[in-house]
Amino acid sequence: MAYHTALDGTLNAAVAILEGVVAGPSSDWLSLPEEGQRVDSAALELPEDYGPRLFQGKPFTGIAYAFTRNGYCTSEIEYSGGFATEISERRWYVTGQPKVYVDGGEYTSWFSDGRIQRRGQRGELVYGLTTRDDGHLRELVLRDARFLDLETLSAMPATEEFQLLGAAIDAELLRTLQTRTDIGAVRKLRLVQTRVGADGLDVLASFEHLREVWFDGNPGLGLQEARRLERLRPGCVAHHVETDAPAPIRRARGMTCVSTGHAARPRD
């Protein structure tokens, strides 16, 4: 894909190129909102810290494209009245691999090697892998077991402190993670809003290196289960977080908020 940008920052053509040869015009665009324009994001202005973004002095409605200094297109984002709508968006790595795709209530993001990192539905994160900068996995969010990718999980080293969040995590899945992934080697584990109950205590006791665990908002894990786990696994401290404590906030787009992550860049 090659884009043609006019002097005023508007994009007026997208061309498909195959092995260095122009193959013709491309229709691979996000659909324009009513009365919208396509512009280079570098042409947008942000007079105030929290928006709206302006194009030629007016709140921008349309599709904004971000480019690197080398000309790679890294995002295509829908705006309305100067603000990202968060319902229509595409992002890419500079290699051309997809990074984020948002379409209405559906959201998917990928690691740079093509593995799925997150999925969201109807504004809720249903599957998510959170990593440190070194690639070590530190959190698994799972609210829909259909999206679980054990092959990806088994290939990822886990941090010593780990969090499992979501109602699709039960005792059976906990045992699978313990035996088939590096999660079984963690030293500190937090269970948040899972369906693990008393039937999962024996599984937790079999975590070879587990020294500390938190039960946070799990209907089947209370103070009684915390004390029982400490008896099953001497040397492991189990904490029970009160149910009225603030619950962690998880949004489908929590790690890539387009309203703050799409800053305009100058181009050469």
Please report the pLDDT score of residue 105 as a whole number: 79
Q: Is residue 265 part of a domain?
A: no
Dihedral over alpha carbons 216, 219, 225, 229 (to 10 degrees): -60
Domain count for the chain: 2
DSSP annotation of 68 reads -
Domain stop point among 46, 70, 96? 96
Q: Which domain holds residue 64?
A: 1-96
Q: Is residue 115 part of a domain?
A: yes
Same domain, 118 and 251: yes
Domain stop point among 96, 121, 142? 96
Q: Is residue 72 part of a domain?
A: yes
Q: Is residue 267 part of a domain?
A: no
Q: Is residue 264 part of a domain?
A: no
Same domain, 247 and 228: yes
Same domain, 57 and 11: yes
Same domain, 169 and 243: yes
Same domain, 119 and 90: no
Q: 144 vs 80, 128, 148, CA distance in Å?
A: 32, 10, 8
pTM of the model: 0.79
Same domain, 209 and 227: yes
Same domain, 32 and 144: no
Same domain, 69 and 165: no
Please enumerate in sequence order all residues whose Cβ is within 8 A of that of 124, keeping only pairs 6 or more positions apart, or say none.
Answer: 143, 250, 251, 252
At residue 9, the 3 state secondary structure works out as coil
Please report the pLDDT score of residue 218 as a whole number: 97
Q: Is residue 200 part of a domain?
A: yes
CA distance 131 to 64: 29
Same domain, 49 and 113: no
User: Average pLDDT of each block of 10 consecutive residues along the chain (268 residues)?
Assistant: 93 92 92 94 93 95 96 96 95 95 93 94 92 95 94 94 98 96 96 97 96 97 97 96 59 40 36
Same domain, 88 and 124: no
Same domain, 142 and 167: yes
Q: Is residue 262 part of a domain?
A: no
- DSSP E strands in the chain: the ranges are 2-5, 11-18, 21-25, 37-40, 54-55, 58-59, 62-67, 73-80, 83-92, 98-103, 106-110, 116-121, 124-131, 137-142, 158-165, 188-192, 212-216, 237-241
Q: Is residue 81 part of a domain?
A: yes
Please report the pLDDT score of residue 249 as a whole number: 47
Domain stop point among 51, 66, 96? 96
Same domain, 55 and 146: no
Please report the pLDDT score of residue 260 as a whole number: 33
CATH label of the domain that carries residue 178: 3.80.10
| Token pair belonging to 102 | 């948002």
